[in-house]
Structure 1
Amino acid sequence: MTTTATTAVAAKARNRHLALAILALAMGGFAIGTTEFAMMGLLKEIESGLDISTPQAGNLISAYALGVVVGAPVFAAVGARLPRKQLALGLMLFLSLANLTSFIAPDYATMLVTRFASGLPHGAFFGVAAVIAAGLVAPSKRGWAISMVMGGLTVANVIGVPLATWLGQTFGWRLLFVVVGAIGLATVVMLLKFVPFEPAHPEASIRRELGALKRIQVWLALLIGVIGFGGFFAVYTYIAHTMTSVAGIPEFLIPAVVALYGLGMVVGNIIGGRIADKSVMGTIYLVMPGIAVALVVYGIAAHWAWSAFIMAFVVGAIGSMLVPPLQTRLLDASPDAPSLASSLNHSALNVANALGAFLGGTVIAWGWGYVAPAYVGAGLAMLGLGIALLSGLLERRRPLAA
């Protein structure tokens, strides 16, 4: 075999191994996306099964989100001295076991605790997975690699969430947690086989990771996620109620609506990753007003079934375009503490989840109707744009360190 042919074969093998490593990381995102978002499509079944109200069911989603907020910085900091592959493996095992405890939870109070526990490894896993993926490719392809890992979460909304929603409606909503546990264990096998081992950074420490919290740009990036993304979750949390009660869509079509929303998330995540490689802040400036406009249109379009279907896709796409640039922005803002900074993005997004679910439930409880959360979300998106503009202004005065 010629030298050229040998080189080509070796390059092909490396590319294949890279693809399988990113697929393994994305599978973890698939498990996480399924357990996080399928709850929203099964909200009515959960209310009936636990004999609770809609706002109480929304609290289960908030409990998971708060678990992410707490777990992301704790696991990322405590695991700073661990090799990243071992940290990812431990987090995925934790996720699998926590979901199985949700399956056997006997009442509402216990379910709150188990959903909180299920959220603990979420942010830290995505954080370490993003760092691993970014390290496997050239710097100019970081946005793409991160979007591929996050693609597991978005693909979950096309396949995992609709399937889990259908299974929950047909065979009982608790089956969701068994499905997630099985996917999590399969992910562990894939991580073991395909993700390369790298020793921990010799200077890695809890103190070094926590140094990210001293940087104003890190906090501003987190605030963009918390405020700007809150409207996305305000809509998604109550999408089943909106589609059935406002748009008049039959309940058996809710899995299709969720799948369409998820398909939009896949498309938006890919686009967001591509354009983030060209301009991180430019992408954020573009997406934030796009979210606001999409949510206002959604609030109007939700009164007709055909337009509600279309806007479910659009809202999913526009919202998901924000995730890759935010993830990349945090890596840029804290290059010496990437695991914690990257993990905190998911804390921020799940504070947004909790905030969106809370504000959405509040305006519904006030009697404003199921489309009101969309208008609240549009206002939040414009506040997020203001924070992004402030961040950009400060960066022009003091550029980020290389």
Structure 2
Amino acid sequence: MTAEPSGNRIALIALAIGSFGIGTSEFSSMGLMPLFAADLSVDVAEASHAITAYAAGVFVGAPLVTLAAARLNRRNVLICLMLLFALGNLISGLAQSLGMLTVGRFISGMPQGPYFGAGAVVASYVMGPGNGGKAFALIAFGMTVATVVGAPLGTLVGQYFGWQTTYLAVAVYAIGTLFIFLRWLPKSSALDGASVAQELASIRNARVWALMGISALCVSATFSVYTFIGPIVTEVAGQSQIVVPVGLALVGLGMAVGTPIGGRMADRYEYRGMVYWFLATLAVMVVMGLFADNISILMVTLFAIGVTLMAAAPTIPVRMTHLAPNAPTMMGALNMAAFNVANALGAMAGSTTIAAGMGYVSSIWAGFAMTAAGLLLFALLYRWLRGGGRTTLAAATQALPDEDRATPQT
């Protein structure tokens, strides 16, 4: 049974509205980082700890909050998560030190994983069976719009009115979203939660954790660039601060293009689309690393990396849900945890090479190495992930084109 047709579109839009706010809060921080670094008298590498704290909040919140809310109706879970998200951004907006900002970002990140897990369940309920990839792509669409509109706008607001204003505005937005949820999300016993034991059983599946690790490594390339997009644009390409929001928007536009591609690929294939698009990410990173000082090429590659990310990404949550079909909320939450481990890995890898004196372009090459490592790990584990035995890199590479058809989703 699905929601009434008259409420379908509005319920789906409401979910995207929520993910837009979450994405704006997360991705604006990259553009705001040089501002709060200067205001709080810390260098960029140290300021990136606030970015890492958000990712840590997602990683911790994904399993813990999901387990705590396991028995609750998914509609009620989403409402509570939006309230916690508002609190985290309020603390961020009132921060007067890097420590307080770090706490605020950690709390802001805690709802993200459970939100995408519960949101995907609600979206799948509304859209009907067999649309797992499209349901995830829909939730991700709000974050995609956030990278096109929310993050650049948040950065501009921070540049003109102070970085705290951006976080306070997101907190107000979150409260407004909460009331939208109260009015438009479907009320149904079909959205009731599962037992804690059922959710716990899902996280004992080793293949789930392997997919999370592969995702974290592969996606980190994007965040190694996105975290340091400000100094790359200003210091490497020699542009003014006003160009930074343009770069952020181009990544978002690329994600908007890649999202529907990724949704269709995830529903059609098991892994083939993911592999091909992450290989494309590596190619984009090479061009970006070689020509980052050319603003025209830099902007094109920023758009391209957004496309490749979102064309590859939806495969991961769909395959995770296939591995643990009785715990879709936990799988959605853990998928977002993997994304934010990627966020943390990308930020740490870039800050490490930058702090070592290798320059801002080194963050691009650090990201390249992480994605290459993720694809190598996938190749080594390919047959095992499909339920078979051990494999070699050559065997995985040869097997992929012929065997990689998605099994029907139940």
Q: Could you say which residue in structure 2 is the equivalent of 1:397?
A: 388
1:11-90 pair list within 5 angstroms? 14-90=4-80
CA displacement at 1:193 relative to structure 2? 1.7
State the alpha-carbon separation in 2 of the partners of residues 396 and 283 from structure 1: 19
Which of 217, 232, 236 is 1:227 aligned to? 217
State the alpha-carbon separation in 2 of the partners of residues 302 and 23 from structure 1: 37
Against the structure 1 CA distance between its residues 141 and 338, is the aligned structure 2 distance closer, same or farther, given a 3 Å change threshold?
Answer: closer
- The answer to whether 1:347 aligns with 2:351 is no
What SS does the aligned partner of 1:277 have?
helix
Which of 283, 305, 316 is 2:295 aligned to? 305
State the alpha-carbon separation in 1 of the partners of residues 75 and 16 from structure 2: 14
Amino acid at match of 1:333: L
Q: Could you say which residue in structure 2 is the equivalent of 1:150?
A: 140
- The answer to whether 1:259 aligns with 2:278 is no
What SS does the aligned partner of 1:52 have?
coil
Q: Are 2:73 and 2:193, in contact at CA under 8 Å, matched by a contact in 1? A: no
CA displacement at 1:159 relative to structure 2? 0.8
CA displacement at 1:170 relative to structure 2? 0.6
Amino acid at match of 1:349: F
CA displacement at 1:200 relative to structure 2? 6.6
State the alpha-carbon separation in 2 of the partners of residues 369 and 213 from structure 1: 39
Structure 1 portions without partners, runs of 5+: 1-10
Q: Could you say which residue in structure 2 is the equivalent of 1:95?
A: 85
Q: Could you say which residue in structure 2 is the equivalent of 1:117?
A: 107
1:114-193 pair list within 5 angstroms? 114-193=104-183
When structure 1 is superposed on structure 2, of 54-63 and 389-398 the one drifting more is 389-398
1:317-336 pair list within 5 angstroms? 317-336=307-326
Q: Are 2:72 and 2:193, in contact at CA under 8 Å, matched by a contact in 1? A: no
What SS does the aligned partner of 1:42 have?
helix
Which of 374, 380, 402 is 1:384 aligned to? 374
Which of 227, 230, 233 is 1:237 aligned to? 227
Amino acid at match of 2:49: N
Q: Deviations over 1:265-289 (max 9, x none)?
A: 1111221112212113112121221
Q: Are 1:146 and 1:324, in contact at CA under 8 Å, matched by a contact in 2? A: yes
- The answer to whether 1:217 aligns with 2:203 is no
State the alpha-carbon separation in 2 of the partners of residues 187 and 273 from structure 1: 25
Amino acid at match of 2:348: F
What SS does the aligned partner of 1:302 have?
coil
State the alpha-carbon separation in 1 of the partners of residues 103 and 348 from structure 2: 18
State the alpha-carbon separation in 2 of the partners of residues 347 and 200 from structure 1: 25
Q: Are 1:288 and 1:384, in contact at CA under 8 Å, matched by a contact in 2? A: no
What is the total number of aligned residue pairs between the two structures? 391
Q: CA-atom RMSD, angstroms?
A: 2.0
CA displacement at 1:138 relative to structure 2? 3.0
What SS does the aligned partner of 2:69 have?
helix
What SS does the aligned partner of 1:321 have?
helix
Q: Deviations over 1:71-118 (max 9, x none)?
A: 111111111100000001000111012111111122111111111111
When structure 1 is superposed on structure 2, of 350-359 and 104-113 the one drifting more is 104-113
Amino acid at match of 2:349: L
State the alpha-carbon separation in 2 of the partners of residues 201 and 34 from structure 1: 27
